[in-house]
Structure 1
């Protein structure tokens, strides 16, 4: 649930006056629940960087470096406004995954070692670094700690330390 929009900077100014030459400097701010910030920062920064690369390629822009700033800002629990209501990271995950969880996910025909995240439907490869929970004798895999925590909360399962 990420939307990145680039708008033309018609009146961008620097210390040298109005910006008129080549790729405009970019300052991107991504707001996420603070509980997710550490886990998603590297991945989101890379994703936005790739989007900037595609934007530059479409315009034929070259960047010397130092003119793209990507900031991932953590929003405190209860300070996220979701549909006009103060919400938490769990509320955001529940909202983002509601459509998947309401549908009939069915049993996917997956190769060994690959499972479906029961919260969001993403494919997860089980392994040493996978985020997993044991529930009713089954190993469940999750795409992120946020999905794992939301599932555990929903099912009343204690999270491992």
Structure 2
């Protein structure tokens, strides 16, 4: 669950360009169906849980008259790692720059500023209840986890059993060995979901509550 708010000076973008920017941002941060990075079932749910708001501001006071963009991403705090923010800032800047007549301008001048804001655990919810980072991951990956994906990973890679992302084993830092099999994960929360599911299954198998 992510909210992306883009603020621009009034008159900077036409309605069509605001719509284009919103769709570019949605594809950049919540997965483009054609990029092959994760199963479409996961990407579709991620997009459904992401909201992009592009707003024009009547008054914007700063030095200079060039078009400016202030982008704020609000996400669960546990997502707010260095790797996540680096990826998001780069992806957002690229998406915004692509709507400009001079895409390179935003790499020469600091006129697209991106803020990544993390919400504390238990500070977000849907379906009428508090939704933790683990709950959100389950919502996004329910369809994939129920599909019993049988894809074979490419040599040197593994498929995250929770979200279906391809993980490079040479650089993987989040792994878990279970029943003699080594699993690799794209994020700590995927490993947590996997571990909780296996622990729950073991308790049921032993007759526990």
TM-score w.r.t. the length of structure 1 is: 0.78
- Structure 2 distance, partners of 1:12, 1:60, is 24
User: 1:124 aligned to 155, 158, 167, which one?
Assistant: 167
Q: Shift in Å at residue 127 of structure 1? A: 2.1
Matched with 1:71 is 115
- Structure 2 distance, partners of 1:81, 1:8, is 24
Distance verdict in 2 for CA 1:9–1:60, change over 3 Å: farther
- Structure 2 distance, partners of 1:94, 1:43, is 22
The answer to whether 1:26 aligns with 2:73 is no
- Greater helix percent: which structure? 2
Instruction: Report if the CA contact (8 A) 1:26-1:68 is conserved.
Output: yes
Matched with 1:93 is 137
- Structure 2 distance, partners of 1:154, 1:55, is 43
Q: How does 1:49-64 map to 2 (within 5 A)?
A: 49-56=93-100, 59-60=101-102, 62-63=105-106, 64=108
> Tell me, which stretches of 5 or more residues in structure 1 are unaligned?
none
> Tell me, which stretches of 5 or more residues in structure 2 are unaligned?
1-45, 201-209
Matched with 1:7 is 54
Instruction: Report if the CA contact (8 A) 2:160-2:167 is conserved.
Output: yes
- Structure 2 distance, partners of 1:10, 1:44, is 23
Distance verdict in 2 for CA 1:122–1:128, change over 3 Å: closer
Q: Shift in Å at residue 116 of structure 1? A: 0.9
Number of aligned residue pairs: give it.
150
Which of 1 and 2 has higher RCO (CA within 8 Å, sep 6+)? 2
- Structure 2 distance, partners of 1:44, 1:67, is 17
Q: Shift in Å at residue 147 of structure 1? A: 1.1
Q: Shift in Å at residue 105 of structure 1? A: 0.8
Instruction: Report if the CA contact (8 A) 2:85-2:116 is conserved.
Output: yes
- Structure 2 distance, partners of 1:150, 1:112, is 25
Question: 1:35 aligns to what SS in structure 2?
Answer: helix
